[in-house]
Every structure is written in structure tokens, then in C-alpha cells.
Amino acid sequence: MPENTKKELNIKPEEILEIIKDISGQDVYVCYQCGKCTAGCPMSENMDIMPNQIIRLLQIGAFDELLKHNTIWLCASCLTCTSRCPKGVDLARIMEAVRLLLLRQNVAYLNASDIPEEDREELPIQALVGAMRKYSP
Amino acid sequence: MKRIGVFVCWCGSNIAGTVDVEKVAEHFRTYPGVVHAESYQYLCSEPGQKIILNRIKEHGLKGVVIAACSPTMHESTFRNTVQQIGFNPFQLEIANIREQVSWVTEDKDSATSKAITSISQIVEKLKGNEALDPIQVPVTKKALVIGGGIAGIEAALNIAKAGYKVYLVEKEATIGGHMAQLSETFPTLDCSQCILTPKMVEVARHPNVELYTLSKVTKIEGFIGNFKVTVHKEPDYVKRADCTACGDCAEVCPVEVPSEFNQTLKYRKAIYIPSPQAVPTIYHIDPETCLGINPIKCNKCAEACERKAIDFDQQPEDILIEVGAIVVATGYDLYDKELMAEYGYGRYQDVIDGLQFERILSASGPTEGKVLRPSDGTVPKRVVFVQCCGSRDPEHHKAYCSKICCMYTAKHALLYKHKVHDGKATVFYMDIRANGKRYEEFVQNAIEHEHISYLRGRVSKIYQENDHLVVMGADTLSGKRVEIEADLVVLAMAMVPGKGTMELAKLLKVGYDENGFLNEAHPKLRPVESLTGGVFIAGAVQAPKDIPETVAQASGAASKVLEMFGQDYLWKEPTIVDVDGSLCSMCGNCVLVCPYGARSLNKEKHIVEVNAVLCESCGACAAACPTGAAQQRNLTDKQIVDMIEVALEIK
Amino acid sequence: MKVNFYPGCTLKTKASNLERTAKASMAILGIELEEMAEWTCCGANFSLANDNIMKMAAPIRNLARAEKVGTELVTICSACYNVLKRANYAVKNDSEKLEKLNLFLEDGKIQDNDDQYHGKVNVLHLLELIKEKIGFDNLKKYIKKPLNGLKVAPYYGCQLIRPQKELEIEDQEAPEILHNLIDALGGDAVDYSMDTECCGSYVEVNRPKEVWLASYRILRQARAAGAKIMITSCPLCLYNLDKHQFDIEKEHSDFKPVPILYFTQLLGLALGLPEEELELNGTKVDPRPVLKESGLL
């Protein structure tokens, strides 16, 4: 988590779930914490907390705790979790909603200028455009 | 005008808390036709019922309206009460002001006025009611039990031992069902076959039991107490009296196909006996896999049989039986593991289901009780058990909990450890549901003493890597994703209703739920009856359940049958739908919509005939009748119009 | 036969060999991929936010422009396919959303012919086009240089197949279309368990080490299953899977790099395109030694 995301969020804690529901269309209370999302997540190796725990922290209202972890930024939106969730929870959308909640507060996770020149040359354009859409306001 | 009494129940504060009951009673004191009205705390209590009886006598009441809870609750209570003093029970009606008014209305004024409207409607209906007599139905004191698993065996034995004839119909070649396939049973670890086979033998030998194997019910006519059932029996192609089950025939049979009894883990011949303990203990030919019965293609079995028991000329039979009651006990199947996409669609040989593992553990199974895996016959040193496969997954599979998997998985892991001491058993679970006598203790014992590793999380994917499998799971308690290597994976697949349950339910006109399990008449108070009179249900065909529960339910169903057989006649509600011949145009609509087959067109006599015993008073015909010829007793079109008019305050 | 073709940004830059080999191969099969006029970037990934209607504007504008030409739009890049097809699905199933987007298109007209989208375009992946218009059996007739049983690992990744409900191209847990293509070309499609696992996608931009790990899982399984070569339809998958292989080799001595190609390069090879037209020099792991070894070059 870069330093700049730690600044105070201008959102009341009780509004967070509502906003997430508006953005994602997902109700976190549908999740019964089976962990199947975590079990199949290809990016979980270096996540500080597991994907199911993201929902868990939302369920118990611990949004600040959630922000301490890198999980949402390691999510590759591959939809493996979404496609297998037994409760039909689209976790990829919840991940996106949490990212957007921050990005819309003008908190950038990554700026274009952070990407080294040589990578910019080498990376396929779809990676650059995609990353900017996921990581910057 | 009929002299009507209105009684308003408080139901403690259930009704009186929201409805001004005294105001309601006051309203009816001046209502046309009502000669008495009062309110009382609990009308269903002994003193409450006495008040009703007294008022009937005092005021010479000819009609009674009880404004209280739903008629499904206490209509029969009150009707039985008034009958004691010779009051016709069909002159008593219930106005539901609890479920339909007080419980669903917050504002006291609107609740009170809504209660008044409801009661007014029932008063208007009652004005048109006639005194009716219940319909008398004779009882054939013989029972049909469909399904020869533990539920069917238990129910059949109970009824037979009470002295009544039972026809036991089983679609397979042997009775015993899935229980006969199991190794040992939780939580006592009794050998399943050891406790089951004596019952199988007992039921087959019982003089009151007539057993039909390889048989199916194909037609059911009639009604409670008087069913006419057609049983279609496929031939054994072996003379029962002559077969000694020596097995010489199977020895020479050239056909090998996967054995159903061994869950495809072993081969059987085209002429075979499902298991050595099969009842009846005879060989039979599977015509689907035999090289040819008509014309005979191979004949090796017939040549080998010293007693000349093989009979290729046997033909299927349709047997007509008459019974008064039917017990449906057709059991369950496991949800197909080939539907589990992320667990490999059933294409990995060493990913098996719970019943397959039962066969592997069973002393009479394909490996004679040695734990060997299907792919290469080696002893699996790492076994992963996955619970909730297909269960508790409303998005892709079944929403319900299959109830028995927590227990049998613990048993599987325990038995595995008993047989492979240096083996590693891992269980993926979501919750451990061990709520039965000594169940929790059983699971805890397995974990404590056998060091079975319980990981709390679902499995996302299983894949093959070289000679082993990899199980991608999670342990949500430690917040870790895990990948576990396994030599064998056992999937605790969901329980689903046995194949053909739905077709049978349609034949029986018995309801089933969204998962295909048969519906009980009441989830709490009538768990072994169906809503179709004379049809009872037992075992896993109603919902997933274990052996003790199945046996208890089977005994319950049998006792319901016996309750019926204890009477010479049955009584049935007379509120059937009659036909006014002068109005009937013989259009046949009512015959078409009747779900019970109670109506028929008699073209010669130019009338619609109504079988009063079959009619369930649903009213579909009355609604479909274009001329008003079909009128339900005590719910005529006029009564309905009166009720509507009073509700709309246009009367 | 001409089909309307949406190339997308990556095929015009980094993955130009994907476009060229696709066009050349399809020409042999009698299909001309005619680049649609005035296309714009699709946005590279489909927004997973309900309220992010603005991010649908680019794909829907492209579909509105395609609709003027016909009812089919063919694309090759998995990401473009995913974005265009999902946006199309979204508006086809939500008339209010479509109306809003049409108002926006009308308002912010960039081109004279940008006006309305009517939901009539069907987005097709080139693989679907081959399957439906030519057929894998029929494709065999055009093969000049069969792959001689070359063991090829098909790699689907995410964007080509998920979500299944919207894309409907394949079973997301057991896709077959690349397998079928490989087999039709005379190769041997290897079954391995990671063909639908994610390579790490755009996370590469920021956390390459995580992508490295994700790629390793995939490559290792493909190798273990005997693959000599891999194919994909996604430029980002190709980049991620290719890029880290020598690093992986350094850490895991038992790992041997697997060259990865676009499916169109393998198709072109089997159809007899000359080596220089196959542009086999775009990846770190050179595929040519394996192809030579197998007598294909």
C-alpha cells in the first residue's frame, strides 16, 4: 500500500457498504465465508490477507483494517472467484468497488509516471491502459 | 334467517393486542342474522369450547363463526366440539383474524375494521351453508411399499407384522438399497450389511409380504383406501425356484460391464447377482448387456447351469394389485460428480464419491476392504475428503445441506486411518453438522485420536499432476490458501432424490419441492403423510436423512398405515363440487382441469359424473365451468358473490 | 468472404505480428479481415462497476460504427473480445443503459456517423469464426504442413472465456476450442490443468514478481504435460508468460523454458506461410529451435 492511500477518507464508515453495493451491485452479507474464492485465487501467493477476508472485513465493518492490505491491488480481475462462488457473489466486482472508492477520492495507487520508461516501451498497450484504469483515478 | 353466533378470540395478545376485540363483538351484536356475539381470551381452551356449546343451546344457534387463527390450526377442533351436541359441523366456519389480520397489520383501527370485514364475509358465507354429512369410504387393508431400501423394508415389516398384507416393489434385482453398499455405519461403526441382511431376509420370508424385484409401479388408479396399482415386472430369465446361486453361469458369461452395486469399481457379468447377500438370492440376466436373449446369441450360461434354471422365454408381466395405502420409500442417489466442472467433471480416476469409498472400505467390496485407489491399485497414503460437493451451492448446484456428509466423511477418514495407519487424512469442511445422538462425540474422537486434519474451507479446483492429484483449497481459520497433494480424493456429493422420483410423484399425484424431494403434508405435524390421502412417505425421498432417521420415519409411516387399517371406513370432507344437470352443457372443461381424475363425462346419460371419494374439493372445476353448473358445496358462486359484496361494502 | 474486423491498439503496436499472421492465414482460408473504419481503443478491460457507464462509451461507440457495416464484428485480442462482448451483453440486456449511452454518443459526436447503437452486432472471436465459418474438420483440407504431432499446450487465460454466461464461447472450466484448432493442424493438444488459470494480467505493470509466480504455475504444468510449445490469443498473456521464463529457469533449475506463440502463427505455419511471414522473433524464448527440431521449419 503506498503512503498516499493512507490519508483520511472522506467517507463515513456507515456509508461504506452502501457505496460498495451501489458500485458493485453485490451484497457482502450474501457471503458465507466458505473460502472458495481464496482457494482458487491465482494471485493469492503474496496477498497480505486472503480474498474471503476482504469480504469478512467488510461484513464486520472493519474498512480501515482492509485498507492496510495489498489484496485489492493484487487482484487481476480474472473472475476465477466469481465464476466458482457457490453463493453467486461477484467478488471481482467488490474488489473493483473498493478500489474505486479510493480512486474516486483521488487516491492513486499508481501513476503513469511511476512506470519505468523501459517498461512503458516494452509492455503491451493493453497492460498499460488496463493498469491505469485499475490503479489511477 | 339462520340464527348465527359470532365468537371473537383474543388469542391472548396475539389478536387482542392489535384488534379491538370487544369493539368487533359489539359490531356483530346488531349485524343482520347474528343473534349473539362475544369475545373470549382463548376459545380453543376447554372453558372456551364450553362457552360455544352453551351459547348454541341458549340461543338456538344454527350457525357459528369463530373469529380466530387460521382454519388449518383449529377448524377441526371446533367442528369436533360442536358435533358432540349434534350440531352439524359444516355450519361452523372460521374467520382468520390472526394470520391474515392481527399479525400483518400494525395500526389498531385498521386491524379492527379489517377484522370486521373478514368476519362479515364469513357470516355471509355461512348464511348459504348447508348441513352436510361426511362421505364414507371403505378400506382395502393391504399396503403397497415402493422401494426396498432400509425405509421400505422397515415399513413393510411393521405393517406385515401387524397382520396385513404388503406388496414390496423394488426396481433393482435385490432389496437393501444404498445401505447394503455401506461399509460401517456412524456413530457406532456397526457393519452395515451385518445389521441389514437379517432384515432383508426377514422381510422377504414374511408370509404377509409379497416381494417384486426388477419391478416398477406404472399405473395408479383409485383413491385412499381403494387404490388399483399396476406393477410392471421385468423377467429374471432365471427360474427362481431352481437357482441355487452357485454362480456357474456367471463364470462362463463372456460379458463384462461395470458393476452398479460396486459403483463401477468392479466388473460384473451380464448374468449376475448384485452381491452375495442379495435378496432374493438368485442370479438374473441383464437383457441390456446380454449378447442376445431373443434370439439367443450365446447360451453359455444355460449350458453351464446344471439345474436348467435359465429361462430365456420369461416375459415381462403387468401385475394388478389392490391396496388401501401406499408408502413411498424410493430413497436417494448421489448427485453426479461429473457435474462438478472444477473438480474435473469426473474424469480423474482417483477422484471418487462417497459411495465408491464405501465400496472400497467394505469387506465385500471390489478390494475386499483394502484401501486401494482405482487408478493403479496402490494404497493411497494421502487422502483428501471434500465436503459439501454440490450441496450448499445455490449458484451452481443444490442450495440445501445434505445433512449426512459431515458424519460419513468423519467416518470415512476414521476408517481410512484404521486401515492405513501411516496415511494422512485431510478433510475440507465448511461447518461440522453433527447433531445426532453421539454424533459430535464421534467427530471429535476422530479428530483427536486419529489426528485427521480438518481444514475449514471449500475446494476451488482439483487437478492431476503426474501420479497424484492436487487439491486447491483454503483454510479460512488461518487465512491461508493451501494446495494439498493427494493420492485419492473423496467427494461428499450431495444427496438427491432417487432417479424416477418425479415420474412416480406424478403417478401418485404427490407434490415435490424444487429439488424433487416429495412434500410432506405438514413440515412439523404431518411429516410422513403426503397431501394425497392414503399415500405416505418414508426416508430420503422426502429429504436427506441418515439411517436412524429413515428408520424412524418408516416406522411412522407404517403406523399411519396401521391407523388407517384399524378402521373399516374412512370419512372424508363432503364439500365436493356437484353438477347441476339442468345447467351443464357437457363442455368437458371440468373433466379437463380436474387434477384428481374425479370427474368424467357420461355421454349416454348426458351428465358429468363426480366421484365423491376422489374429489379433493380444490374448486378448479367450479372456476372452469362456464355455465355455473359446477358448484362447490358450501362455497357456491352465490356465497362467493355475497362475500365479495360485503367486503366491498356494496351489500 | 469479407468480415468486419476490429484490431485494437495492441495489435497495431506490440502485437502487430498477431494481426499480420491472422490476416495472412485467413486469406488462405478465403476470408478477408477488413479493418473497420474509425475504430478506437476499447478500454483494455471491462469495468466491473455498475455505475461506470462512461467506460462503456468506447466499446459501444465502436459497436455503433460496426453496426453500419453489418451484424458481425470479428476480433482477435482476448481483451478486446472480452470488453466488446461484455459491453454488448450489458446493453442488449439493459435498454436503459443503452439509451443512456446513445444519448451520450449523440451528444459527444466525434464523427458524423456516430449516432446510435441498436444492439444488432454480434461480436465474434477469430477462433469462433474459424470454427463456425470454416469448421475444424474442413480446415484440415487447407493444411500444407501438418504439425506432425507437435505437443502444443493451448493457453486460454481469462478474458477469452470468463464470464461464461456473457461470453458463451466455451465451458470456462474445460474449454476446447484451442485444443480443437491444434488437433486440426495436425498437432497434439496437451491436456494440463492450468490452461484457464490467470497469468497475472495487468498486475505485471506494478508487481511483476506476483505475475512471475502465476506464470510459473502455468508453465510448469504445461511442461510437465509434455508441451513443446504454447499458444494463446492474448498479447498480454503472451508477454507475461514469455517474459519471466529465464528468471524462472535461474531459480528452478529443473524448469525448461517453453516458447509461446500466437495461435495465428501456428495456424499460418500449418497453412504453409513462409517463415519470414510468421514473424517468430517476437518473444524472449525463441520458438524456432523447437519448430526446427520437429521438422516444421
Distance CA C53, CA C64 (A): 16
Residue A120 domain-assigned (yes or no): yes
Nearest to A86 among B392, B456, B476 (CB): B392
Q: Based on the domain organization, do A128 and A90 belong to the same domain?
A: no
CATH number, domain of B614, equals: 3.30.70.20
Residue B446 domain-assigned (yes or no): yes
Q: Based on the domain organization, do A97 and A113 belong to the same domain?
A: no
Task: End-to-end CA distance of chain A: give it in Å, rounded.
Answer: 16
CB contacts < 8 A, A to C, total 141
Where would I find the beta strands (DSSP E) of B111-185?
135-138, 142-146, 165-169, 184-185
B232 φψ region: left (φ > 0), alpha (ψ -120 to 50), beta (else): beta
Q: Between residues 333 and 362 of chain B, which touch chain C (CB distance below 8 Å)?
A: 341-342, 345
What pLDDT shows up at residue A1?
44
A70 φψ region: left (φ > 0), alpha (ψ -120 to 50), beta (else): alpha
Q: Burial, B133: exposed, middle or buried (Cβ in 10 Å; 0-12, 13-18, 19+)?
A: exposed
Q: Based on the domain organization, do B104 and B187 belong to the same domain?
A: no
Q: Based on the domain organization, do C152 and C236 belong to the same domain?
A: yes
Write down the mean pLDDT value for chain C.
94
With a cut of 70, say whether residue A8 has pLDDT above it.
Answer: no
Q: Based on the domain organization, do B551 and B580 belong to the same domain?
A: no
Q: Look up the domain containing B462 and give its range.
A: 334-496
Q: What is the DSSP letter of A77?
A: -
pLDDT band at C110 (very low <50, low <70, confident <90, very high): low
Residue B445, CB half-sphere, CA atoms under 13 Å: how many? Answer: 14
Residue A7 domain-assigned (yes or no): no
With a cut of 90, say whether residue C71 has pLDDT above it.
Answer: yes
Write out pLDDT tens, residues B279-295.
999 999 999 999 999 89
Domain-terminating residue out of B456, B481, B496: B496
With CA atoms as reference, the chain C residue closest to B462 would be C193
Residue A5 domain-assigned (yes or no): no
Which of A26, A32, A34, A81 is the mutation pick for testing B, counting most B CBs within 10 A?
Answer: A34
Which chain B residues are Cβ-neighbours of C172 within 8 angstroms? 341
> According to the 3-state scheme, what is the secondary structure of B186-255?
CCCCEEHHHHHHHHHHHHHHCCCEEEECCEEEEEEEEECCEEEEEEEECCCCECCCCCCCCCHHHHHCCC
What pLDDT shows up at residue A7?
52
Contact call for residues B7 and B44 (beta carbons, < 8 A): no
- Asked if C193 has any chain B CB less than 8 Å from its own CB, the reply is yes
With a cut of 90, say whether residue B72 has pLDDT above it.
Answer: no
Q: What is the DSSP letter of C131?
A: I
Q: Based on the domain organization, do C45 and C145 belong to the same domain?
A: no
Task: Say which amino acid occupies C281.
Answer: N
- Mean pLDDT, to the nearest integer, of B75-90? 95
Q: Look up the domain containing A129 and give its range.
A: 109-137
Distance CA C241, CA C230 (A): 10
Test B457 with A88 for CB contact under 8 angstroms.
Answer: no
| Residue B3, helix vs strand vs coil | coil
Write out pLDDT tens, residues B186-212.
999 999 999 999 999 999 999 999 999
Q: Based on the domain organization, do A82 and A118 belong to the same domain?
A: no
Task: Say which amino acid occupies B228.
Answer: K
What the block records as the C-alpha cell of B563 is 391407523
Write out pLDDT tens, residues C119-175.
999 999 999 999 999 999 999 999 999 999 999 999 999 999 999 999 999 999 999
Contact call for residues C42 and C90 (beta carbons, < 8 A): no
Q: Based on the domain organization, do A115 and A83 belong to the same domain?
A: no
CATH number, domain of C70, equals: 1.20.1050.140
Write out pLDDT tens, residues A30-60.
999 999 999 999 999 889 999 999 999 999 9
Test B345 with C173 for CB contact under 8 angstroms.
Answer: yes
Other C-beta atoms lying within 10 Å of the C-beta of residue B162: 16
Q: Based on the domain organization, do B338 and B465 belong to the same domain?
A: yes
Domain-terminating residue out of C94, C125, C156: C125
Q: Based on the domain organization, do A57 and A78 belong to the same domain?
A: yes
Residue B273 domain-assigned (yes or no): no
Residue C131 domain-assigned (yes or no): no
Q: What share of chain C is helix, strand, coil (3-state, %, to 5)?
A: 50, 10, 40
Q: Based on the domain organization, do C78 and C150 belong to the same domain?
A: no
pLDDT band at C111 (very low <50, low <70, confident <90, very high): low
Residue B610 domain-assigned (yes or no): yes
With a cut of 60, say whether residue A2 has pLDDT above it.
Answer: no
Number of domains in chain A: 2
What pLDDT shows up at residue C114?
58
Which chain C residues are Cβ-neighbours of B465 within 8 angstroms? 193, 221, 224
Nearest to A23 among C49, C80, C158 (CB): C49
Which of A109, A113, A126 is the mutation pick for testing C, counting most C CBs within 10 A?
Answer: A126
Residue B35 domain-assigned (yes or no): yes
Which residues are CB-contacts of C178 (< 8 A; sequence separation ≥ 6)?
A: C127, C154, C155, C156, C189, C195, C231, C233, C263
Q: Based on the domain organization, do A83 and A61 belong to the same domain?
A: yes
Q: Based on the domain organization, do A66 and A53 belong to the same domain?
A: yes
Distance CA B529, CA B520 (A): 6
CATH number, domain of B103, equals: 3.40.50
What the block records as the C-alpha cell of B325 is 395405502
Contact call for residues B304 and B262 (beta carbons, < 8 A): no
Residue B288 domain-assigned (yes or no): no
Q: Based on the domain organization, do A125 and A79 belong to the same domain?
A: no
Residue A4 domain-assigned (yes or no): no
- Mean pLDDT, to the nearest integer, of C71-76? 97
CATH number, domain of B365, equals: 3.50.50.60
With a cut of 60, say whether residue A6 has pLDDT above it.
Answer: no
Q: Based on the domain organization, do C46 and C177 belong to the same domain?
A: no
Q: Chains contacting C with at least 3 CB pairs below 8 Å?
A: A, B
Distance CA C248, CA C218 (A): 12
Q: Based on the domain organization, do A64 and A120 belong to the same domain?
A: no
pLDDT band at C112 (very low <50, low <70, confident <90, very high): low
Residue A136 domain-assigned (yes or no): yes
Residue C276 domain-assigned (yes or no): yes
Share of chain C above pLDDT 90, in %: 93
Q: Based on the domain organization, do B216 and B146 belong to the same domain?
A: yes
What the block records as the C-alpha cell of C89 is 451483453
Q: Based on the domain organization, do A101 and A115 belong to the same domain?
A: no
Write down the mean pLDDT value for chain B.
96
Q: Burial, B121: exposed, middle or buried (Cβ in 10 Å; 0-12, 13-18, 19+)?
A: buried
What pLDDT shows up at residue B650?
83
Q: Based on the domain organization, do B194 and B45 belong to the same domain?
A: no
Write out pLDDT tens, residues B443-478.
999 999 999 999 999 999 999 998 999 999 999 999
What the block records as the C-alpha cell of B531 is 397431501
Test C171 with B464 for CB contact under 8 angstroms.
Answer: no
- Asked if C54 has any chain B CB less than 8 Å from its own CB, the reply is no
With a cut of 60, say whether residue C235 has pLDDT above it.
Answer: yes
Residue C130 domain-assigned (yes or no): no
Q: Chains contacting B with at least 3 CB pairs below 8 Å?
A: A, C
Which chain C residues are Cβ-neighbours of B341 within 8 angstroms? 171-174
Choose the weakest-confidence range: A11-15, B367-371, B417-421, C126-130: A11-15
| Residue A65, helix vs strand vs coil | helix
Write out pLDDT tens, residues A82-122.
999 999 999 999 999 999 999 998 888 999 999 999 999 99
Contact call for residues B344 and B254 (beta carbons, < 8 A): no
Q: Look up the domain containing C12 and give its range.
A: 2-125
Among B204, B212, B208, B262, CA closest to B235? B212
Residue A3 domain-assigned (yes or no): no
Q: Based on the domain organization, do B85 and B225 belong to the same domain?
A: no
Nearest to C201 among A78, A129, A135 (CB): A78
Task: Say which amino acid occupies A46.
Answer: N
Test C193 with B465 for CB contact under 8 angstroms.
Answer: yes
Domain-terminating residue out of C125, C145, C178: C125
Distance CA C180, CA C184 (A): 6
Q: Based on the domain organization, do A21 and A87 belong to the same domain?
A: yes
Q: Based on the domain organization, do C201 and C279 belong to the same domain?
A: yes
Nearest to B341 among C174, C193, C224 (CB): C174
Test A130 with C213 for CB contact under 8 angstroms.
Answer: no
What pLDDT shows up at residue A4?
42
Q: Based on the domain organization, do B382 and B425 belong to the same domain?
A: yes
Write out pLDDT tens, residues B220-271.
988 899 999 999 999 999 999 999 999 999 999 999 999 999 999 999 999 9
What pLDDT shows up at residue B294?
87
Where would I find the beta strands (DSSP E) of B512-575?
535-537, 569-572
Residue B129 domain-assigned (yes or no): yes
Residue A1 domain-assigned (yes or no): no
For β-strands B332-334 and B351-353, DSSP reports them as unpaired
Q: Based on the domain organization, do B343 and B406 belong to the same domain?
A: yes
Distance CA B354, CA B383 (A): 13
What pLDDT shows up at residue C113?
59
Domain-terminating residue out of C91, C125, C159: C125
Among A70, B486, A96, A82, CA closest to C198? A82
Give the ipTM of the model, two decimals please: 0.93
Distance CA C207, CA B229 (A): 71
Q: Based on the domain organization, do A59 and A87 belong to the same domain?
A: yes
Nearest to A115 among C52, C205, C207 (CB): C205
Number of domains in chain C: 2
